[in-house]
Chain A
Amino acid sequence: SQTIHQWPATLVQPVGSPLSLECTVEGTSNPNLYWYRQAAGRGLQLLFYSVGIGQISSEVPQNLSASRPQDRQFILSSKKLLLSDSGFYLCAWNGGKNTEAFFGQGTRLTVV
């Protein structure tokens, strides 16, 4: 069966520090991968998606970047965190068009 792992679960980082959140998927190959963010009082905002290794599409201009160095690995990064980067970050995968996406457990990021 397929599983998705996301870590860490919680993270407190100072403003200006770098960020690296990692997501890996097991039990499938060539998944579509997604990063979402849930900010307080807002829905789930799509940040990035990837259809394959090295292929990243950005949905909104921001202080974050994403990379996919391996087929089942998706990384969310920042060189310098801002206070506004605080939120609940979720990684997800699906197997193709019009299929449900499966989510990781999320990372609560607090920038102080």
Chain B
Amino acid sequence: DQQVKQNSPSLSVQEGRISILNCDYTNSMFDYFLWYKKYPAEGPTFLISISSIKDKNEDGRFTVFLNKSAKHLSLHIVPSPPGDSAEYFCAASLKGGGATNKLIFGTGTLLAVQP
């Protein structure tokens, strides 16, 4: 059962334009959301996060929007240079055992920024 879904496996945008990556989730107990960027054969790197008590968070070129009623979040990247071409994962935090949280990842969206 995929609790975090990225329905677009790939996305192509022109260099300098905005990239919008979408993510849907099913579990209303998720309370923290994150976006990661991943290059092939490397570990993911953290981009930006948002708490469930907020609906927007901005950090430089990255803005994340959260719509709790729709169980939907999106990542906006403005502008998009070719170096942004990578796989992007959204993740949601669910309380695990003890004091930890489990990060449940989506299926990923492969972003191609065309020069």
Contacts and interface: CB of A to CB of B under 8 A. Distances in A.
A111 B34 CA distance: 32
Contacts of B93: 97-98
B107 A42 contact: yes
B60 interface: no
Interface stretch (A11-19, A47-55, A69-77, A79-87): A47-55
Describe A's contact surface by its main secondary structure.
strand
B103 A34 contact: yes
A52 B96 CA distance: 13
Given A43-B89, A43-B108, A98-B32, A103 B100 contact: no
Contacts, number: 80
A106 B42 contact: yes
A112 interface: no
A101 B103 contact: yes
Nearest to A36: B105
B83 interface: no
B51 A43 contact: no
Interface in A59-112: 59, 88, 90, 92, 94, 96-98, 100-106, 108
A106 B41 contact: yes
Interface of B: 2, 4, 6, 31-32, 34, 41-46, 49, 51, 89, 91, 93, 95-108
24 contacts: A42-B107, A43-B4, A43-B89, A43-B105, A44-B44, A44-B89, A46-B102, A49-B100, A51-B98, A55-B97, A59-B102, A90-B43, A90-B44, A94-B103, A96-B99, A96-B100, A97-B101, A98-B93, A100-B34, A102-B46, A103-B44, A104-B43, A106-B42, A106-B43
